[in-house]
Structure 1
């Protein structure tokens, strides 16, 4: 009977995990006489990659890429369904498909790459009923439909011409910067009459971003006509607007919630330490310390990105750098997790996860973009800004994050190589910057 590697999720980390595992299996079997079959299976709601980093853009319904042909030519089995349970003791996962049919899937090694969701705090009344989001394809499509319907709302309606972005972090800033251009493309809306506001509870914009990028962000927002309110939290949302911690009520029909993400709930079914985002704290090879048959990648994993020899990631977290919940980390993490799951199953040494490409690339709509180089932390230094940084962001959005082509099996599998793939990407990035 074939041994089984099961990957939960078909996002960036899940897709790369499957390719990396299949690549190593084929490579190893070519180099030595095969002793047993190993099957790689991906379980996800849809056989497509949602281009989540692009969901702040218009035409959000087109922001996905099919994976069926890629999986077929590389020999990866796909199961349509949503995983409901992970049984660590029996090494089985249970899923349910769109028709409600439940299935059980045994695994010898599991890669958990189920992604994340936007945080909806229970102490903000009206949040789930009245807000919009861009964390998933369906929510981004819902927002776009709402924006296109705004011209049909009487112009005198309170809040019709005001859009409020709740959260001034990475996602909130990209949404805010893109909105003026999106609104200008909707017939019946006057750009001059529309008001876009960013509300951030911290006293600084982009609290998780490098200090060097903040002045440029604020200058760009002012140039785009986007208002920024710092040191304010949204305390409630109703059908007519939002209320802040300062007691101000802002009329809006379009509150967009971007304030934070949390790992998929499946992480809670795997024993082990979780961080403040619900992510599994993993070993340096992305293995779950208390569940040796499980690896985690992408937004479900809290992984070290520095190369210190100190392996005590749990007791001394402030001494290390950790992965962020972004495709910048999900893609290489997927490569390492899939590779290591297959290596471990075949008795080969695993690889230490290494994050080579780090930094901040923020889209600022008609204001261009900003690229800060460094370690992906507050010490990053601005390397490109404005129109000079836009080609790099466009390359990321329109090329880097797309799946490999299915018409070249060798190149498709090589995209999962945790060692070679990174350096190829670095060369491509350098050619864009230069």
Structure 2
């Protein structure tokens, strides 16, 4: 291996930063990390930002300082797989690469229901979350559309931090229906305790400035609306001719390389990674190990060695119910529920431990080649909802 190899990482979320640091730690390659924003966004805590809580700000340039990672702020607007270059909005010329890491993540998809893009808030970025926090201060009623784990965490956070706001949770299915019956019952009790109105079995067909319309014609009035259902991945890879699935995620082989372009690796929510139980769903719990594994395999590839297959099993479904309560459903590897679960203060401490800031992990990755198995319990929230859906991102 020579030190002239160019590794380009698109996206500086949990998986992109970890992959970039991992490659820089293991190899002599020149690593370029591209991201539209210059600060690191803790997506798992965006619901806290949306309710007015202040979180620590971390500059991406500081996270990669004194490593072989160069940070470039800008949007990647195109990938040329033949020339092996990527066009960046802030650069006069394309950035070349020998290896491309696709870590663009995902966002809530508002395109499938009229008015959702124009009138609903999302937790896609900190600017929108902060606007929602300002809006909540003048609201008396608020809707959360989608009762997946993201919607539940947002609804409980709003209800706890703004007790004068009437919160309604709208969903086609039962909230957190993937949990075991006892954990699910505890979660439903917490929603009732916080005064959240749950309306399941409904479908939102239109979002308006002052409420939503349901499929039976009913109008539900509210001062604001948060959209948490459905996931979308950026079309960059599809437009570049890289093999993707129906949602735009890059289809990978067992080593996390693209099945159509072996110089491309994909990690996290933007990768369609198949395991024995099926294609993994987006979650920080699986994304961070995929990033560490990709970094290790890229190092092997640069040394002329074969990559190792990625194997991952889920461990838990940790859900915050405000700042003072939580429920943790432990799972089998395929994410189906085990009998074990914990609740209350113990669950809060557990959740804060496994979903704590990734900054210490990034710091370790600068000094050590962390094996993926060490990171396998981090995070855990599913990036999918239950109201109108599916997988848009970068």
Equivalent residue number for residue 200 of structure 1: 171
Does residue 128 (structure 1) correspond to residue 86 (structure 2)? The answer is no
SS of residue matched to 1:129 = helix
Q: Which residue of 2 aligns with 1:154?
A: none
Q: Rate the CA distance shift 1:405–1:18 in 2: closer, same or farther, 3 A.
A: closer
Is 1:387 the counterpart of 2:345? The answer is: yes
CA contact (8 A) 1:86 1:94 kept: yes
Q: State the 4+ residue runs in structure 1 displaced beyond 4 angstroms.
A: 207-212
- CA gap 1:89/1:139 in 2 versus in 1, 3 angstroms: same
Answer yes or no: is the 8 Å Cα contact 2:141–2:166 preserved in 1: yes
CA contact (8 A) 2:169 2:198 kept: yes
> Which residue pairs with 2:59 in the alignment?
66
Aligned counterparts, 1:104-143, within 5 A: 104-122=94-112, 124-143=113-132
The 8 Å contact of residues 60 and 137 in structure 1, kept in 2 or not, is answered as no
- Offset of 1:342 from its aligned partner? 2.8
Shift of 1:322: 3.0
Highest CA radius of gyration, 1 or 2?
A: 1
Match of residue 173 from structure 1: 152
State the partner residue of 2:77. Answer: 84
Alignment of 1:378 onto 2:339: no
Does the 8 A contact of 1:61 with 1:141 survive in 2? no
1:274–1:281 contact (8 Å) kept in structure 2: yes
SS at match of 1:164: strand
In the alignment, which of 122, 133, 139 is matched to residue 144 of structure 1?
133
The corresponding residue for 2:289 is: 332
Shift of 1:417: 2.1
C-alpha distance in structure 2 between counterparts of 1:72 and 1:195, whole Å = 45
Structure 1 match to 2:375: 422
Counterparts in 2 of 1:205 and 1:419: CA distance versus 1, 3 Å: closer
C-alpha deviations, 1:354-407, integer Å up to 9, x for none? Answer: 3256221011115611111122523344421122201011223434x335465x
Normalised to the residue count of structure 2, the TM-score between the two structures is 0.87
Q: Tell whether 2:11 aligns with 1:9.
A: yes
Q: CA deviation at 1:214?
A: 2.4
SS class of match (1:384): strand
Separation in 2, partners of 1:347, 1:417: 21
Contact 1:284 1:303 in 2 (8 A): yes
> Within the alignment, does 1:233 sit opposite 2:203 as a pair?
yes
Query: 1:118-140: CA deviations, max 9, x gaps?
Result: 11134x22222211111221221
Aligned mates of 1:211, 1:322 — CA distance in 2: 25
Which segment is superposed worse, 77-86 or 266-275?
A: 266-275
Three-state SS of the structure 2 residue aligned to 1:213 is helix
Q: 262-271 or 108-117, which moves further after superposition?
A: 262-271
Question: Residue 362 of structure 1: which of 319, 327, 333 is its match?
Answer: 319
Asked whether 1:297 is paired with 2:267, we answer yes
CA separation of 1:64 and 1:415: change in aligned 2, threshold 3 A? farther
Q: Deviations over 1:227-246 (max 9, x none)?
A: 11111011112122111113
Q: By how many angstroms is 1:300 displaced? A: 0.4
CA change 1:65–1:301 in 2 (3 A) is same
Query: Using the alignment, how far apart are the partners of 2:89 and 2:181 within structure 1?
Result: 45
Q: Check whether the contact 1:54–1:63 (CA below 8 A) recurs between aligned residues.
A: no
Root mean square deviation of aligned Cα? 2.4
Q: Distance in 2 between matches of 1:393 and 1:65?
A: 21
In structure 2, distance between residues paired with 1:275 and 1:134: 24
Paired residues, what number? 374
2:142 matched to 1:163? yes
Deviations 1:5-38 (A, max 9, x none): 110011011011111111221xxxxxxxxxxx52
Task: Give unmatched runs, 5+ long, in structure 1.
Answer: 26-36, 151-159, 185-190, 307-319, 427-434
| Residues 337-359 of structure 1 deviation map (CA, whole Å, 9 limit, x = unaligned) | 22222321221232221325622
More helix per residue: 1
Query: What is the rounded CA distance, in whole Å, between the counterparts of 1:285 and 1:421 in structure 2?
Result: 18
Q: With structure 1 as the length reference, what TM-score do the two structures score?
A: 0.80
CA 1:368–1:107 in 2, change beyond 3 Å: closer, same or farther? same
Q: Find the counterpart in structure 2 of residue 431 from structure 1.
A: none
Conserved 8 A contact 2:255-2:294 = yes
The SS at the match of 1:111 is strand
User: Which runs of structure 2 are paired with 1:242-261 in the superposition (5 Å)?
Assistant: 242-261=212-231
Whole-angstrom CA distance in 1 between matches of 2:232 and 2:362: 31
SS of the counterpart of 2:265?
A: strand
